[in-house]
Amino acid sequence: INGHPGNYVRIAGHWRLEECHPSGCITDLFIQMSIIMVLKQTLSNCVEFLSPFISYKLRKMKDRRSRVHSEQGAEDRTMESWKDNYRLGKVHIFSLFDEFLEMVIQYSFTTIFVAAFPLAPLLAFINNMLEIRLDAIKMTRLQRRLVPRKANDIGIWLQVLEGIGVLAVITNGLIIAITSDFIPRLVYKYKYGPCANNDTEIDCLTGYINQSLSIFHTNDFEKLTQVSSMVYPNTTVCRYRDYRTADEEYSYSVQFYHIFAARLVFVIVFEVSNF
């Protein structure tokens, strides 16, 4: 998608597409998932609980001040419970919808990207143990009572969760096959590495990094990315992560097609075995 040195894909002929780190895109996905599952959920719980709590305390203080300057009769005391409930935070028709939506989004992140962040289910469990208690306090003490309705199940949310489960199986298969280095490592181990020649004295992945880097001649750089000979003297070639030949066309190597075929086979087997 992003091209290669000497032939990068550019938007309007100027801006290059953002690329992943040479270590792979799985690292960026891991960092993003850790921020979502730890920092975002913690801040969301704090805001979700503290916002109605502070609002309730402010309304209660305001009501106490108004009581001091007004006379209360015996008739007002009989309505005290109604007034206490009126001071609670307002609820609307989408209050319960928001709670379901929050859980569905969390379930989506946990299942769809679990291959990139295996700690997601554990962090979701810890978060929900705390959140279920905060929501109970919020619904019983800080908000007005919701109008109950009879229901046999959770409605359309059940179909949504089933759809997310199917999407999670497809996505995890693609993450393992395409985003991670699982397949390229296996191909190198059994086809190009030392173990392919029955040499078991050294590790089977020895030389994998060098094999995964292609050669590019610096003379073929684009004008926008031309390397100055004064900065890097006597530099004729550089290495970049891809599986291409070192000829003039920089076409895909045989190893690329081996890896591509192995990825397709893995995706097919993975999806069929889970459906």
Residues 6 or more apart whose CB falls under 8 angstroms from that of 121 comprise 110, 114
Choose the weakest-confidence range: 26-40, 112-126, 198-212: 198-212
Residues paired with 4 in a beta bridge: 7
Give percent of the chain with pLDDT exceeding 70. Answer: 92
Cα–Cα distance measured from residue 208 to residue 243, given in angstroms and rounded to the nearest whole number: 12
Residues 6 or more apart whose CB falls under 8 angstroms from that of 172 comprise 112, 113, 114, 115, 270
pLDDT band at 78 (very low <50, low <70, confident <90, very high): low
What's the whole-number mean pLDDT along residues 227-243?
78
Q: What pLDDT shows up at residue 76?
A: 61
Cα–Cα distance measured from residue 240 to residue 163, given in angstroms and rounded to the nearest whole number: 39
Task: Please give the single-letter amino acid code of residue 270.
Answer: F
What's the whole-number mean pLDDT along residues 161-170?
94
Q: What pLDDT shows up at residue 85?
A: 79
What's the whole-number mean pLDDT along residues 138-156?
85
Q: What pLDDT shows up at residue 240?
A: 86
Cα–Cα distance measured from residue 268 to residue 263, given in angstroms and rounded to the nearest whole number: 9
Q: Which of 122, 126, 119, 127 is nearest to 102 (CA)?
A: 127
What's the whole-number mean pLDDT along residues 93-97?
84
User: What does the pLDDT look like over 43-59, one tens digit per residue?
Assistant: 999 998 999 899 888 88
Task: Please give the single-letter amino acid code of residue 142.
Answer: L
Q: State which of 95-99, 115-119, 148-152 shows the largest mean pLDDT.
A: 115-119
pTM: 0.78
* pLDDT over 70 (residue 258): yes
Q: What pLDDT shows up at residue 122?
A: 95
Q: Which of 174, 185, 173, 238 is nearest to 209 (CA)?
A: 185
Q: Return the half-sphere exposure (C-beta side, CA atoms, 13 A cut-off) of residue 255.
A: 20
* pLDDT over 50 (residue 11): yes
* pLDDT over 70 (residue 166): yes
Q: What pLDDT shows up at residue 228?
A: 67
Q: Contact 128/99 with Cβ under 8 angstroms?
A: no
How is residue 143 annotated by DSSP?
B
Q: Contact 45/124 with Cβ under 8 angstroms?
A: no
Q: What pLDDT shows up at residue 74?
A: 47
Cα–Cα distance measured from residue 109 to residue 53, given in angstroms and rounded to the nearest whole number: 28
Q: What pLDDT shows up at residue 67?
A: 66
Cβ count near 177 (within 10 Å)? 21
Q: What pLDDT shows up at residue 133?
A: 93
What's the whole-number mean pLDDT along residues 59-75?
66
* pLDDT over 60 (residue 110): yes
What's the whole-number mean pLDDT along residues 173-195?
90
Return mean pLDDT, the chain. Answer: 85
